[in-house]
């Protein structure tokens, strides 16, 4: 049994498309990401979710940039570092066309040195529309069964944990097809499901969210689960997740720059401060990094640097 008094706070610092606006400063460079990671760690986050950007601020899958980010973060604090297969799209300046990352490029991010602690994967395909995160036009994304299955299999072989990003309940049933490939057992306890509201065609409604949580508990009874949302719905849906006993919440500029009252945040740490205060109302305290490691079933403090 997990200690439900403890809440894992994840800070998604930058995403692949978010830009500075309304006074919110989005960390882009490795140095900025590391400094912001330190600030959210001080505020109570135990996990930082990062994307790499190139010198022009665009999405990047460059392993050298990821390596520098992770190394700089670890020089400052012991916060758990999470990367994702969601590299996002890039624009070809010459043609004006969108460029989607290849599966091989996305799988390559499993082999970083220094190694990340946790992984995230979008488990379903769909039309991604998230103006609050910089995706102002509808963008189709495909996450093939082969890509998802191979990612999960390799992460579990490393002894780590995959966060399944689930925007609606149908994706939970897609996960069963991933399980059928042998990538994981639905009864496993090291599964982590993030219920996201407001992404693409998923409305940020309590009824949709609660049904998805109930379905995840039925299909994956031993899994961890968390809540997030886009824009000004983020804190409302995270509060709902906390009240229902969720194991984690995710805040941060990747999907939202606003505070609970609708005013722009200045930093990601402002949002972490706010969700920590909200959690206290429900008798929940932010998990420390060692506590988060135990909840995830990870190894010792140096496991991520192996």
Average pLDDT over residues 29-58: 96
**98 HSE (CA, 13 A, CB side):** 11
C-alpha distances in angstroms, 118 versus 112, 129, 192, 281? 12, 25, 10, 28
What is the model's pLDDT at position 46?
Answer: 99
d(CA 147, CA 252): 27
Asked whether the predicted pLDDT for residue 130 surpasses 70, the reply is no
When the pLDDT of each residue in the chain is averaged and rounded to a whole number, the result is 91
What is the model's pLDDT at position 306?
Answer: 35
Do 146 and 103 form a contact (C-beta atoms < 8 A)? Answer: yes
What is the model's pLDDT at position 304?
Answer: 47
What confidence tens digit (pLDDT) does each residue in 223-247 have? 999 999 999 999 999 999 999 999 9
Q: Which pTM does this prediction carry?
A: 0.92
What is the model's pLDDT at position 260?
Answer: 98
d(CA 190, CA 273): 27
More confident residue, 93 or 166: 166
Q: How many CB atoms lie within 10 A of CB 184?
A: 20
What is the model's pLDDT at position 85?
Answer: 80
pLDDT above 90 covers a percentage of the chain that reads 73
Q: Give the residue from 143, 122, 254, 128 showing the smallest Cα distance to 193.
A: 122
What is the model's pLDDT at position 182?
Answer: 97
Torsion (CA) 258, 264, 265, 268 in degrees, nearest 10: 50
Do 249 and 238 form a contact (C-beta atoms < 8 A)? Answer: yes
Phi first, then psi, for residue 229 (nearest 5°) are: -165, 175
Q: How many CB atoms lie within 10 A of CB 115?
A: 17
Confidence category of residue 305, pLDDT binned at 50, 70, 90: very low
3-class state of residue 218 by DSSP: helix
Asked whether the predicted pLDDT for residue 302 surpasses 50, the reply is no
Average pLDDT over residues 103-128: 88
Domains in the chain and their CATH numbers?
Answer: 6-305 (3.20.20.70)
What is the model's pLDDT at position 198?
Answer: 86
Average pLDDT over residues 146-167: 95
Asked whether the predicted pLDDT for residue 165 surpasses 70, the reply is yes
What is the model's pLDDT at position 100?
Answer: 75
> Considering only 90-104, 163-177, 215-229, which range has the smallest mean pLDDT?
90-104
More confident residue, 143 or 133: 143
Asked whether the predicted pLDDT for residue 133 surpasses 70, the reply is no
**For the chain, what is the largest distance between any 2 Cα atoms, rounded to a whole number of angstroms?**
55
Residues 6+ apart with CB under 8 A from 281: none
Residue carrying structure tokens 């400052």:
76
């Amino acid at each position: 049994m997990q200690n439900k008094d403890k809440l894992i706070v994840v800070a998604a610092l930058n995403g692949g498309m978010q830009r500075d606006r309304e006074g919110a400063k989005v960390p882009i460079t490795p140095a900025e990401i590391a400094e912001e990671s330190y600030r959210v760690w001080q505020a109570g986050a135990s996990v930082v979710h990062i994307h790499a950007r190139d010198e022009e601020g665009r999405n990047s899958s460059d392993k050298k940039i990821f390596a520098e980010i992770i190394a700089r973060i670890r020089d400052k604090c012991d916060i758990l570092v999470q990367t994702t297969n969601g590299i996002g799209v890039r624009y070809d300046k010459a043609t004006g066309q969108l460029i989607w990352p290849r599966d091989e490029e996305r799988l390559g991010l499993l082999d970083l040195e220094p190694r990340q602690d946790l992984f995230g994967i979008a488990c379903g395909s769909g039309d991604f529309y998230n103006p609050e995160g910089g995706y102002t036009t509808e963008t189709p994304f495909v996450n093939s069964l082969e890509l998802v299955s191979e990612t999960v299999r390799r992460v579990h072989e490393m002894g780590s944990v995959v966060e399944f990003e689930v925007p609606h309940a149908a994706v939970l049933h897609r996960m069963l097809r991933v399980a059928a490939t042998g990538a994981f057992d639905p009864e496993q306890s090291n599964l982590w499901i993030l219920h996201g509201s407001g992404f693409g065609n998923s409305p940020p409604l309590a009824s949709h969210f609660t049904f998805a949580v109930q379905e995840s508990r039925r299909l994956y009874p031993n899994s961890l689960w968390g809540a997030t949302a886009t824009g000004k719905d983020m804190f409302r849906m995270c509060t709902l997740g906390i009240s229902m006993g969720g194991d984690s919440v995710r805040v941060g500029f990747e999907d939202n720059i606003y505070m609970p009252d609708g005013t722009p945040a200045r930093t990601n740490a402002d949002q972490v401060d706010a969700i920590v205060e909200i959690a206290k109302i429900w008798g929940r305290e932010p998990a420390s990094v060692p506590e988060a490691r135990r909840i995830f079933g990870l190894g010792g403090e140096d496991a991520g640097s192996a």
